[in-house]
Amino acid sequence: MINGASDFMIDVMGDAGRHTRFAVGAPSLPLGVAVEIDGIFRIKQS
């Protein structure tokens, strides 16, 4: 799941989508979701 999210960011944003990441295990998440993905983005206008 996390690899897919990383691949998606690179597909959409090109080289600007390359990033670092980490995964943290959780015993349970609300509403039965399998994974939570957070991101912090800086948007630069050209």
**Structure confidence at residue 17 (pLDDT):** 87
How far, in Å, CA of 37 to CA of 4, rounded?
11
**What residue type is 29 in one-letter code?**
L
Q: From 41, 43, 10, 5, select the one nearest 23 (Cα to Cα).
A: 5
**Structure confidence at residue 14 (pLDDT):** 92
Domain boundaries of the chain, sorted by first residue: 1-46
**Structure confidence at residue 2 (pLDDT):** 82
Whole-Å CA distances, 6 to 21, 28, 31, 40, 46: 9, 23, 23, 13, 24
* Residue 6 structure tokens: 């990383």
Is this prediction's pTM over 0.85?
A: no
Q: What is the tens place of the pLDDT at every residue in 1-44? A: 788 889 998 999 899 888 888 887 788 888 888 888 888 888 88
